[in-house]
């Protein structure tokens, strides 16, 4: 399933961004917001943003958005790394 968002022309024209950057910046902002609200995981938010893991993580840090990392995820990571 793909979701297409329509942004009214008046809103798009009011964005203080170069036309060529609007789509990518809106996707980054959406990804950050959905991650911060716990709606999307880090991986899916990063995928939506189009940024690398490193860049998305740095952006979250710059905006002081805490990483969601549960004890269960730590166990999974340790198991994956062969350290359990």
Phi-psi region of 35 (alpha: psi -120 to 50; beta: other; left: phi over 0): alpha
Give the confidence band of 83 by pLDDT, cuts at 50, 70, 90. low
56 has a pLDDT exceeding 70: yes
Rounded distance between C-alpha atoms, residue 55 and residue 71, angstroms: 24
Residue 39 per-residue DSSP state: S
Name the residue among 61, 67, 59 with its Cα closest to residue 30: 59
pLDDT of residue 81: 87
Q: Tens digit of pLDDT for each residue in 24-52?
A: 999 999 999 999 999 999 999 999 999 99
pLDDT surpasses 80 at 58: yes
pTM of the model as a whole: 0.80
């Amino acid at each position: 399933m793909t979701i297409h968002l329509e942004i009214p022309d008046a809103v798009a024209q009011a964005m203080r961004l170069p036309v060529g950057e609007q789509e990518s910046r809106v996707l980054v902002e959406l990804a950050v917001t959905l991650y911060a609200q716990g709606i999307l995981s880090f991986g899916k938010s990063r995928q939506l943003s189009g940024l690398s893991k490193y860049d998305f993580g740095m952006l979250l840090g710059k905006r002081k958005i805490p990483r969601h990392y549960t004890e269960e995820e730590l166990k999974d990571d340790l198991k994956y790394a062969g350290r359990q």
